[in-house]
C-alpha cells in the first residue's frame, strides 16, 4: 500500500489569481500562501478555508523576498497569526522572539530553516542542535521543517536520517537531487508542489497523483553526472502504458563510497529498482547479493532490483544491444572493433561474442582491458595500436569522446577499411562526432538511443513483470524526444 497517503500535498501560491486552479479535497490538499512574494495574498484569506492554509513570510536570507530583521517582520507576523491558519511558518533563526512575546503555542506552528550554505548533512546537524536547545514544549507541539541543497542524492538521505526522529517533520531538498524528498515514503507531514515551473520543485498535479494513488512504482538511475539522461522520458511512457502510477528519479552520487551508502537507503524508502550508469557499473556488482549469468561473465551490471534486504543485479545492456542489432539487421556482420574498455564495452563485447562476431578491442591503455573477466578476454583480441586492424565490418564507440559533436573517437582510432556500419553508444540531442564522420564516408550510423530504449524496456519488465509492446512505444518515445 502507498504510505504516502498520510502526507499532505501543499500547493505553493505566490499569485492570488492561481487560487482558482486548486481543487479542495476534504483537507488532503494544503495551500501555502507566500505572503513574502505577494503581500496582497492576505486580502484573499477572508472566507478561505484556513484549516487548509500554510502562511509563510520567507526572509530574503532564506530564499524569499521578505524582510530579514525581526523588528520589520514582527508586524506582518502579528497580522498572519490572527488568521489562525493550519500552520504558520516562522524561521528558527529570526522569529523565535515572536513566539516568546505571544501565546501562540496552541496554534499550529511550523519552525523552519532554509540553509543552502553547506551540505544538507552538515546543515541538518546544525538545525537539530538548535532544535534540541528549545524548550520541550516546542519539540512536542510544533512541526519542524528543514530545506537544503544536496551536494548529491546521498546528501539528502543523510540529512533525512538525521532529522527523521523528530515527532513532526518535513525535510525537503531543492534541485534534481531533491525530487526524492517529495515523492518517497518518508513519513513527512506534508510536501510542496508548484502550479507553475519552479526550479527544484515538482509540479503539484504530479505530487497529488503520487500521494493519492493506492500504490506507486518508484524507479531510478544512479551515476555520477545525469543531467543529460533520457531515461526518465522512457520510463514515463512505460508507466503510462502499464497503467502504473510512479516516478523515475535521477540519483547523482559523487563517489563509490557514497554509492555503497545510498543503496540500502533507496531500498528502505521504497525504490523498486534502479539502472546504473558511468562510472558505477562494475562497482555495483560487488554490492549485489544475486547476479545473473551475464553479470558474472562480464563483471558489469546496469540494472538492480531491490527485494527486502536483497539486491539482485542484471545486465540489460547486453540484451538491449542484441535487440537493437537484430532490429537493424546488423547481426549478420562478422567482425567488430570496440573503442573503449569500460563497463559498457564489456557488455557490448559479450553481446557480440554471443552473436558469433570476431571482436577487437582498442583502448589507449591496456589497464582497463585487463580488468575484463578472463573468460571474456579469451574470446577477444586486444589491439595495441591503431594500425593493427586493417579491416572490419562494424565500428563501435564505447567512450564519451565525440558526445559534444566537436571531436570523434576516430581521432584516436580511425575507421578500418570495409566498414558497413558505425555505432556510438553515447547519445545526445545533437549528432555525435562519430556519426558525423560516418556520414562523410557514407557509412550507416546509429547512436545509442535504440539500445537505451531496449535496455530500459528489459529493466522495466524485470522490475514490474509487465510485458511491453516495444515497437509502438519506441516510435512514440523517439517522436517525443525529437520535438
Cβ–Cβ under 8 Å, residues 239 and 210: no
What percent of the chain clears pLDDT 70, i.e. is strictly above it? Answer: 96
Work out the burial of residue 346: count CB atoms within 10 Å of its CB; fewer than 13 is exposed, 13-18 middle, 19 or more buried.
Answer: buried
Task: Answer yes or no: do 472 and 441 share one domain.
Answer: no
Task: Answer yes or no: do 252 and 361 share one domain.
Answer: no
- Is residue 1 over pLDDT 60? no
Task: Answer yes or no: do 150 and 249 share one domain.
Answer: no
pLDDT digits (tens, 9 = 90+) for 311-345: 999 999 999 999 999 999 999 999 999 999 988 89
Just list the catalytic residues. 281
**How confident is the model at residue 2, as a pLDDT?**
47
Task: Answer yes or no: do 156 and 232 share one domain.
Answer: no
Task: Answer yes or no: do 20 and 156 share one domain.
Answer: yes
**How confident is the model at residue 135, as a pLDDT?**
84
Task: Answer yes or no: do 260 and 407 share one domain.
Answer: no
Q: Which of 123, 202, 209, 191 is nearest to 162 (CA)?
A: 123
- Is residue 362 over pLDDT 50? yes
Average pLDDT of the residues of the chain: 92
pLDDT digits (tens, 9 = 90+) for 170-206: 999 999 899 999 999 899 999 999 988 776 789 999 9
* Least confident span in 4-8, 136-140, 312-316: 4-8
**How confident is the model at residue 451, as a pLDDT?**
97
Question: What's the structural domain count of the chain?
Answer: 3
In a domain, 320, yes or no: no
Task: Answer yes or no: do 251 and 336 share one domain.
Answer: no
73: cell is 517582520
**How confident is the model at residue 103, as a pLDDT?**
64
pLDDT digits (tens, 9 = 90+) for 234-263: 999 999 999 999 999 999 999 999 999 999
Full-model pTM: 0.92
Of 451 and 139, the structure prediction assigns the larger pLDDT to: 451
Instruction: Report, as an integer, the average pLDDT of 134-158.
Output: 92
Cα–Cα dist 386/145, whole Å: 59
Task: Answer yes or no: do 150 and 176 share one domain.
Answer: yes
- Is residue 160 over pLDDT 60? yes
Amino acid at each position: 500500500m502507498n504510505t504516502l497517503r498520510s502526507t499532505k500535498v501543499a500547493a505553493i501560491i505566490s499569485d492570488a489569481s492561481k487560487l482558482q486552479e486548486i481543487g479542495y479535497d476534504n483537507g488532503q490538499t494544503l495551500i501555502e500562501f507566500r505572503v513574502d512574494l505577494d503581500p496582497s495574498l492576505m486580502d484573499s484569506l477572508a472566507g478561505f478555508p484556513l484549516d487548509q492554509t500554510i502562511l509563510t513570510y520567507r526572509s530574503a536570507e532564506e530564499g524569499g523576498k521578505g524582510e530579514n530583521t525581526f523588528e520589520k517582520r514582527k508586524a506582518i507576523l502579528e497580522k498572519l497569526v490572527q488568521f489562525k491558519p493550519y500552520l504558520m511558518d516562522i524561521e528558527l533563526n529570526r522569529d523565535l522572539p515572536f513566539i516568546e512575546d505571544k501565546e501562540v503555542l496552541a496554534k499550529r506552528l511550523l519552525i523552519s530553516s532554509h540553509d543552502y550554505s553547506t551540505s544538507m548533512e552538515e546543515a541538518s546537524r546544525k538545525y537539530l542542535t538548535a532544535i534540541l536547545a528549545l524548550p520541550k514544549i516546542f519539540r512536542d507541539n510544533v512541526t519542524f521543517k528543514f530545506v537544503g541543497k544536496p551536494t548529491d542524492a546521498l546528501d539528502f538521505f543523510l540529512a533525512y536520517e538525521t532529522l527523521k526522529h523528530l515527532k513532526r517533520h518535513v525535510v525537503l531538498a531543492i534541485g534534481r537531487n531533491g525530487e526524492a524528498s517529495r515523492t518517497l515514503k518518508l513519513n513527512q507531514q506534508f510536501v510542496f508542489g508548484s502550479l507553475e515551473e519552479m526550479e527544484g520543485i515538482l509540479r503539484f498535479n504530479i505530487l497529488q497523483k503520487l500521494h493519492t494513488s493506492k500504490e506507486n512504482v518508484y524507479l531510478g538511475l544512479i551515476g555520477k553526472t545525469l543531467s543529460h539522461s533520457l531515461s526518465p522520458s522512457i520510463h514515463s511512457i512505460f508507466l503510462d502504458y502499464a497503467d502504473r502510477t510512479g516516478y523515475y528519479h535521477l540519483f547523482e552520487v559523487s563517489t563509490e563510497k557514497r554509492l555503497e551508502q545510498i543503496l540500502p537507503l533507496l531500498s528502505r524508502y521504497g525504490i523498486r529498482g534502479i539502472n546504473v550508469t558511468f562510472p558505477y557499473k562494475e562497482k555495483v556488482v560487488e554490492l549485489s547479493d544475486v547476479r545473473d549469468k551475464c553479470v558474472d561473465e562480464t563483471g558489469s551490471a546496469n540494472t538492480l532490483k531491490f527485494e527486502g534486504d536483497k539486491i539482485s543485479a542484471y545486465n540489460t545492456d547486453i540484451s538491449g544491444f542484441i535487440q537493437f542489432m537484430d532490429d537493424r539487421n546488423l547481426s549478420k556482420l562478422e567482425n567488430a572493433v570496440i573503442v573503449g574498455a569500460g563497463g559498457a564495452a564489456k557488455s557490448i563485447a559479450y553481446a557480440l561474442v554471443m552473436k558469433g562476431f570476431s571482436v577487437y578491442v582498442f583502448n589507449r591503455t591496456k589497464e582497463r582491458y585487463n580488468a575484463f573477466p578472463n573468460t571474456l578476454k579469451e574470446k577477444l583480441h586486444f589491439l595495441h595500436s591503431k594500425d593493427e586492424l586493417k579491416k572490419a565490418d562494424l565500428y563501435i564507440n564505447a567512450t564519451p569522446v565525440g558526445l559534444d559533436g566537436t571531436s570523434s573517437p576516430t581521432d584516436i582510432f580511425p575507421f578500418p577499411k570495409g566498414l558497413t556500419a558505425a555505432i556510438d553508444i553515447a547519445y545526445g540531442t545533437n549528432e555525435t562526432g562519430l556519426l558525423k564522420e560516418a556520414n562523410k564516408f557514407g557509412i550507416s550510423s546509429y547512436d545509442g538511443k535504440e539500445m537505451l530504449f531496449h535496455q530500459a524496456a528489459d529493466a522495466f519488465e524485470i522490475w514490474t513483470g509487465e510485458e511491453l509492446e516495444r515497437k509502438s512505444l519506441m516510435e512514440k518515445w523517439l517522436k517525443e524526444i525529437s520535438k
